[in-house]
Amino acid sequence: MNSSENLSKIEIFAFVGPAGTGKSHRATHVAKQYGIDVIIDDGLVISRGRILAGRSAKSEVNRLRAIKRAIFEYEDHRDEVVRYLTKNPPEKLMILATSDGMINKIVKRLGLNPPSKFIKISDISSPKEIEAALRERREKNQHVVPVAKAQVQQNFAGKLVSQIRGFFRGRDKDESRNTIVKPLFSFNGKVTIEHDALVEMSKKLLVLGNHVKKIRELEIEIYDDKISMNIEVDLNLGGKSALSIARTLQRKIFKGLSYLTGMEIRQVNIRVNEIFL
């Protein structure tokens, strides 16, 4: 039986609500209610208070990288989670997300079925409880991870604040534990990277010994937090082929800008205008 057949047997539940409304805090309770053993939350595969696979988005140093981690943009992270679910397919799996669109991105990237049921945070929590959760997030920048403290320590780069009881007590002592953390990043406000800053970053990355004689054109387009680039250069070959130099520059831009900005690099097109021997 191949991996897609294993994954196709998993029934998917979606638990949706804006960031900071208390989804992670109530996840264990909701999972228990629907007979769900496994949860995906912020890049982690979790069952009975234990991390089974993945890496927490709350371990990232900025908001953009945290978002990419949560929707499995990083190939090694995605492959690890897919391998685990293929070898250990649960009967039911619940995914936590801030929107229906985020749910759709996650199931597509992981090769899972569309959700059979969408559960809204407003179905579980009262408006007063949601407002209280949002106020806590705004004032303290505290996030809940639905696993025990000992599990979080291995996976998290920020500050561990405290450990709290969940909504029910299971046979496993870790099953009812939630851990409150303070990530290195904050979801408050908006992150903006100016076009000129992207241009300067790209110029630094387009240095490759003496091979790049001149950057003639550097066009950057940003759409939905994704970057597309058109670059035109003059090259000194210096014993290498123009193709190998262009490919090396392309890889540098892909890896460098992705690391520096946390944004997805959609495409990098490099044109060679003149060649100098």
The fold of the 3-182 domain, in CATH, is Rossmann fold (3.40.50)
Is the model's pLDDT at 230 over the cut of 80? yes
Residue pair 231/172 in contact by the 8 Å Cβ criterion:
no
Per-residue pLDDT tens digits for 63-89: 778 888 899 989 999 999 999 999 999
Q: Which residue has better confidence, 126 or 262?
A: 126
pLDDT on residue 3: 63
Q: Is the pLDDT of residue 158 over 50?
A: no
At residue 14, does pLDDT exceed 90?
A: yes
Lowest model confidence (mean pLDDT) among 163-167, 207-211, 224-228:
163-167
Q: In this predicted model, what pLDDT tens digit does every residue of 41-59 receive, in sequence order?
A: 989 998 887 889 998 887 7
- Who has greater pLDDT, 15 or 66? 15
**Quick one: pLDDT band at residue 171, thresholds 50, 70, 90?**
very low
Strands, E assignment, the chain: 11-16, 38-41, 44-47, 50-54, 92-97, 117-120, 143-145, 159-165, 177-182, 212-223, 226-236, 264-276
Strand order in the sheet with 212-223: 212-223, 226-236, 264-276
Res. 96 pLDDT band, cuts 50 70 90: very high
Domain ranges of the chain: 3-182, 195-276
Task: Classify each residue of 193-227 as buried b or exposed e, where b means 16 or more C-beta atoms within 10 Å of its C-beta.
Answer: beeeebeebbeebbebeebbeebeeeebeeeeeeb
Would you state the pLDDT for residue 26?
85
8-state DSSP, 22: S
- Residue 216 is predicted with a pLDDT of 95
Least reliable range by pLDDT among 43-52, 96-105, 158-167, 257-266:
158-167
In this prediction, residue 202 carries a pLDDT of 93
Beta bridge partners of 159: 182
217: three-class secondary structure by DSSP: strand
Position 119 pLDDT exceeds 50 = yes
> Given pLDDT bands bounded at 50, 70 and 90, which one contains residue 194?
confident
Please tell me if the domain spanning 3-182 has the same topology as the one spanning 195-276: no
Topology of domain 195-276, CATH: Alpha-Beta Plaits (3.30.70)
- Mean pLDDT across the chain, nearest whole number? 81
How far is Cα 8 from Cα 128, in angstroms, rounded to an integer? Answer: 38
Q: How many CA atoms lie within 13 A of 257 on its CB side?
A: 30
**In sequence order, what are the beta bridge partners of 41?**
44
Q: For residue 178, what are the CA distances in angstroms to 150, 158, 219?
A: 11, 16, 47
pLDDT at residue 261, rounded to an integer: 76
The alpha-carbon radius of gyration of the chain (Å, integer) is 22
Residue 184 has pLDDT above 60, yes or no: no
In terms of pTM, does the model score above 0.85?
no
d(C-alpha 69, C-alpha 74), whole Å? 7
